[in-house]
Structures are given as C-alpha cells and as structure tokens.
Amino acid sequence: MNPIQTLQHQLDTLNLWQGSLTLARHEYLHRADSTDTRLYFVVSGSVRVFILDEAEEQTIRFGYPGSFITALDTFITGEPSDFYMQALKKTTLKFIDKPAYMQFIESNAENVRLWYQLMEQLIFQQIERETDLLTSSPVKRYGRVLQRSPQLFQEIPHKYIASYLRMTPETLSRIKKS
C-alpha cells in the first residue's frame, strides 16, 4: 500500500473527513486570491488546477478518482492562492482542513513518517514536472507524460492536456497524428 492509499484509508477508518461536496461540470472548487487550506480527495469525476497567465489558463495538474488535490500554495502558506480548481465533469470530493489534518499527523510518530513520505513524493513529482517543462521539444514532452501517465489521455479532454504540456491543442493534435 503506497503512502497515499494509507493516508486515505486512515482518514476513512478514523472518520476524519469533515464533509463532502459535489460539483457540476465546470464549477469551481476554488478561485485565485482566496485562501483554502482544505485537502480534497477525489471520489469521482475529475478536477484541473490552473493559473492565469495574461488571460491564458496554464494547467498545473489534474485530479482524478483516488487523488488528493489541494491549492498547494495556500495550503502551505495560508496566504491567498494563485490557483484555480475547477471540475471537468460532475465531481464528488471529500475534504479535511489543515488544522484537523495536522492534528491527525502529529497524533503519532507513524503518521509523521507518513507525512514525510508524502512530502518527499511531492518534491520528487515536482522535479519530474520541472524536467518535463524544460524539455524543449513538444514531441518529447508529450512522450514523457504519455509514458508516465497514460491514463491521463483517457480521462481528460486533450485541450487541457495540451495546456499542461505547454503547447496549443492544434500542436498536440498534430503530434498525436504522427
């Protein structure tokens, strides 16, 4: 069982979820300039996280069933966020806020270790992401992400994947064809 599954299982077992909510397609879970220190777990549906760069939406990441998702900047700092989180289809989530989460984490040493592991995993993912974004050829960026997350291309409209891959939908379409 990986750290994410362990965490989810613990939160279920101890009944620590503080609520759940359902969003319609295109509804916002969170908007920039507001704070939100909740940690969300995607039960069904899908979510995208993006920033606004001169009226362009740049995709940061996706959440699908089984993922935790959060506006990580405001989760860490408690300051207003740069992120938007939006449902891509009808989506159900459970959540726990940071104070309750940290109380759970600090309640025993095993949980502290778990949080360590999750942070390490997060850092490692961010390193891979940085490498993706620094890869200059669009074809190679596509290849890297396709290999690492093939399920993405099943679940998510490709125009959002294009933005995640730092290219236009037209370019992604041409790459897929070849």
Q: Footprint of its own copies on this chain (CB under 8 A)? A: 51, 53-54, 56, 58, 60, 72-73, 76-77, 82, 112, 116, 119-120, 122-124, 126-127, 129-131, 133-137, 140, 166
CB of 152 to its own copies, least distance (A): 17
CB of 1 to its own copies, least distance (A): 19
Q: Which two tokens stand for residue 47?
A: 């979510």
C-alpha 102/C-alpha 96 separation (Å) is: 10
Residues binding DNA (CB under 7 A)? 25, 88-90, 136-139, 157-159, 166-174, 176-177
C-alpha 89/C-alpha 172 separation (Å) is: 22
Which of DNA, its own copies, none does residue 15 bind (CB under 5 to 8 Å by kind)? Answer: none
Which of its own copies, DNA, none does residue 119 bind (CB under 5 to 8 Å by kind)? Answer: its own copies
Which of its own copies, DNA, none does residue 33 bind (CB under 5 to 8 Å by kind)? Answer: none
- Beta-carbon contacts of 146 under 8 Å, excluding residues fewer than 6 positions away, are 153
- Beta-carbon contacts of 145 under 8 Å, excluding residues fewer than 6 positions away, are 132, 152, 161, 164, 165
Q: Which is nearer to DNA, 19 or 157 (CB)?
A: 157
C-alpha 80/C-alpha 70 separation (Å) is: 13
CB of 173 to DNA, least distance (A): 3
φ, ψ of residue 24 to 5 degrees: the values are -80, 160
Edge to edge, the sheet with strand 56-63 lists: 28-30, 84-87, 47-53, 56-63
Q: Which is nearer to its own copies, 23 or 29 (CB)?
A: 29
Task: Check: CB of residue 48 under 8 Å from CB of residue 85.
Answer: yes
Which of its own copies, DNA, none does residue 130 bind (CB under 5 to 8 Å by kind)? Answer: its own copies
